[in-house]
């Protein structure tokens, strides 16, 4: 597992609506209808993160979930971060798949 190049990250972010680069991380703030929806999202993402053995840094306040993904082993954005971000998008937009 190695960090992606800036070019690779930019390319991936084009497919990840609302995700932005922030230093060595990619970040997105999700807004849900309420706390239950926010927690449901976190739980669905949590199962995938655990299976992937790659975990998010995230903050929740009522209906908001702020997600930060980075790879502490490589010190940058890795393909695991992209996979987890894509899965989070799948959770909030299941109809797209």
* The one segment of 4-12, 20-28, 32-40, 75-83 that binds its own copies by CB under 8 A: 32-40
Residue number with CB closer to its own copies (62 or 94): 62
DSSP at 16: S
* The one segment of 3-11, 15-23, 24-32, 34-42 that binds its own copies by CB under 8 A: 34-42
Q: Is residue 51 near its own copies by the rule CB under 8 A?
A: no
* The one segment of 3-11, 16-24, 44-52, 86-94 that binds its own copies by CB under 8 A: 44-52
DSSP string, 32-94: -SSHHHHHHHHHHHHHHHHHHT---EEEEETTEEEEEE-BTTTTB-BHHHHHHHHHHHHHH-G
**Tokens at 30, concatenated:** 């999700």
Q: Is residue 50 near its own copies by the rule CB under 8 A?
A: yes
């Amino acid at each position: 597992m190695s960090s992606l190049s800036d070019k690779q990250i930019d390319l991936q972010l084009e497919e990840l609506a609302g995700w932005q680069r922030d230093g060595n991380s990619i970040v997105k703030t999700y807004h849900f209808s309420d706390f239950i929806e926010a927690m449901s999202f976190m739980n669905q993402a949590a199962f995938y993160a655990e299976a992937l053995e790659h975990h998010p840094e995230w903050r929740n306040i009522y209906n908001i979930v702020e997600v930060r993904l980075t790879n502490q082993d490589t010190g940058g954005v890795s393909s695991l971060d992209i996979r987890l971000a894509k899965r989070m998008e799948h959770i909030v937009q299941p109809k797209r798949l």
